[in-house]
Amino acid sequence: LAAAGGHVEVARLLVNLGADPDAQDDQQDSAWLVTGVTGSVAKAETLLPADPDLGLLNRFGGTSVIPASERGHVAYVRRVARTGINLDHVNDLGWTALLEAVVLGDGGRRHQQVVRALLGAGADPTIPDADGRTPIALARGSGQVVIARMLAAAEPADGR
């Protein structure tokens, strides 16, 4: 509850008392995974010293950076990208963080910044979804012109 409710000081106290940031509830949420949903950089910073499992998966088979990308949590994506988290993890829906930013994002400024942050941190712009659609094809298909341009600029010149 401390993680979901934004109670950073309570979360800090619990971590200092040895609480497990990876403990999952019946919905497969953990304190660490919830930071991606809420986008709380402060909470992430509180939990990082407890060495959370960055590869821990939520009920959709995703890591914390995937819902953060979907929701346009720019500062969180930038911060977590520096931890070594797998930015190219594919969830049960067949989407990476980059795909979620395109498919579930609105193409606006926050999602543009998320895409820029993911690409800048090394996310692979060529990984397709479960139906074989690439992020650039999905961006073009939904009229996300700026994001499509960013993805085109990030794709390797040889098409790989």
Alpha carbon 122 to its chain's center: 13
pLDDT in tens, 114-144: 999 999 999 999 999 999 999 999 999 999 9
Distance between CA atoms of residues 149 and 141, nearest Å: 13
* Full residue range of the structural domain in which residue 16 is found: 8-154
Domain assignment present for 38: yes
Which pair of structure tokens corresponds to residue 83? 């931890």
Split into its structural domains, the chain has a count of 1
What is the 3-class SS of the chain, one letter each residue? CCCCCCCHHHHHHHHHCCCCCCCCCCCCCCHHHHHHHHCCHHHHHHHHHHCCCCCCCCCCCCCCHHHHHHHCCHHHHHHHHCCCCCCCCCCCCCCCHHHHHHHCCCCCHHHHHHHHHHHHCCCCCCCCCCCCCCHHHHHHHCCCHHHHHHHHHHCCCCCC
Note whether residue 54 is domain-resident. Answer: yes
Give the least confident one: 3-7, 65-69, 72-76: 3-7
Cα gap 71→99, rounded to integer Å: 12
Please report whether residue 95 resides in a domain.
yes
* pLDDT score, position 1: 46
Whether the pLDDT of residue 160 is over 70: the answer is no
The CATH number for 96's domain is: 1.25.40.20
Tell whether 159 is covered by a domain.
no
| Residue 45 included in any domain | yes
In a domain, 2, yes or no: no
pTM for this predicted structure: 0.89
In a domain, 145, yes or no: yes
- 70 in any annotated domain: yes
96 residue type, one letter: T
